[in-house]
């Protein structure tokens, strides 16, 4: 008897940009996914770095269950968790909050200041503005590969110091910065000042590809250099990595979910929706020390 070929998962992968990002159709994340579908989603995740699923209807428990497919969920440091759900943060800005700083409103890799930064993050939209509030993503593989051979050789040997600037005592935002009251961010925490060293170029543990691993929110300086010495090259890299050809942009709709690889992307939450309420639920996937 001839064995039948294994069934292929019935999902559709639709790239959204040349650099990264794909919408996944044919998957209901509220249901238990079969092994073939999980394998197909993980393969798309490794290829496209950020995946988008529209039209989902998820309970908090279902979002956490989906998170577990990629690794253990982790609590978000320095941010108040949703009551009863330690792995979920409510990313909220109320309609009456104007001219305030919001969560993630600069290019960054989530919590790169941790010794073991998250593998990835998941954001699920419950309420979104009619327009505005998009999220941008950038491909750090592409940014690294576009550098000259000489620059790549130099960066391959460097390490950078990361600190939890927004949450610490030394580098936190000044009192003049107005921040959203709708998300419980803890500030002035001494433990956020701890300096953590990571390679400037990290090797992805699944794909083996090299990606730049610096960002303006958490990277302080290069190891064994002063901040002043580090600033010109870091500023160049921050501008380089967000060139349009390395990016994609996602417009949120109610029920949309985004999953991104924190090891090879940066992202930016656009704060251009004053006068509208925006609520999303966020989970993170535990990661390992960058190498």
240 is catalytic: no
Annotated catalytic residue: which of 108, 198, 204, 278? Answer: 108
Annotated catalytic residue: which of 110, 198, 202, 263? Answer: 110
Can you read off the two tokens belonging to residue 241? 């990595």
Query: How far from 248 is each of 22, 49, 241, CA to CA, in Å?
Result: 10, 11, 12
Annotated catalytic residue: which of 162, 267, 278, 281? Answer: 267
Query: How far from 60 is each of 65, 124, 177, 236, CA to CA, in Å?
Result: 9, 10, 32, 40
What is the dihedral sign for C-alpha 284, 73, 68, 70?
A: positive
28 is catalytic: no
Report how far residue 262's alpha carbon sits from residue 267's, in angstroms, rounded to the nearest whole number.
9
267 is catalytic: yes
Residue 79 CB neighbours (<10 A)? 17
110 is catalytic: yes
Q: Which residues are catalytic?
A: 108, 110, 267, 282
């Amino acid at each position: 008897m001839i064995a039948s070929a294994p069934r292929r998962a019935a999902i559709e992968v639709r790239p959204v940009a040349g650099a990264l990002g794909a919408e996944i159709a044919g998957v209901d994340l509220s249901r238990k996914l079969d092994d073939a579908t999980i394998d197909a989603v993980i393969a798309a995740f490794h290829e496209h770095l950020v995946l988008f699923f529209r039209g989902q209807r998820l309970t908090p428990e279902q979002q956490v269950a989906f998170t577990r497919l990629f690794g253990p969920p982790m609590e978000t440091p320095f941010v108040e968790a949703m009551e009863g759900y330690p792995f979920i943060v409510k990313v909220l800005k109320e309609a009456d909050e104007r001219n305030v700083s919001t969560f993630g409103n600069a290019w960054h890799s989530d919590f790169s200041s941790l010794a073991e930064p998250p593998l990835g993050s998941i954001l699920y939209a419950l309420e979104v503005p009619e327009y505005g509030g998009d999220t941008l993503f950038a491909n750090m593989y592409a940014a690294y590969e576009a550098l000259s051979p000489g620059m790549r050789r130099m960066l391959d040997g460097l390490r950078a110091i990361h600190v939890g600037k927004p949450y610490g005592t030394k580098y936190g935002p000044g009192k003049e910065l107005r921040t959203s009251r709708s998300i419980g961010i803890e500030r002035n925490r001494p433990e956020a000042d701890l300096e953590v060293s990571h390679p400037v170029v990290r090797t992805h543990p699944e794909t083996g590809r090299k990606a730049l691993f610096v960002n303006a929110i958490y990277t302080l300086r290069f190891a064994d250099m002063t901040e002043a010495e580090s600033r010109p090259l870091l500023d160049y890299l921050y501008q380089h990595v967000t060139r349009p050809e390395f990016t994609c942009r996602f417009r949120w709709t109610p029920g949309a979910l985004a999953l991104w690889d924190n090891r090879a992307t940066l992202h930016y939450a656009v704060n251009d929706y004053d006068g509208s309420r925006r609520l999303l639920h966020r989970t993170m996937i535990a990661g390992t020390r960058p190498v």
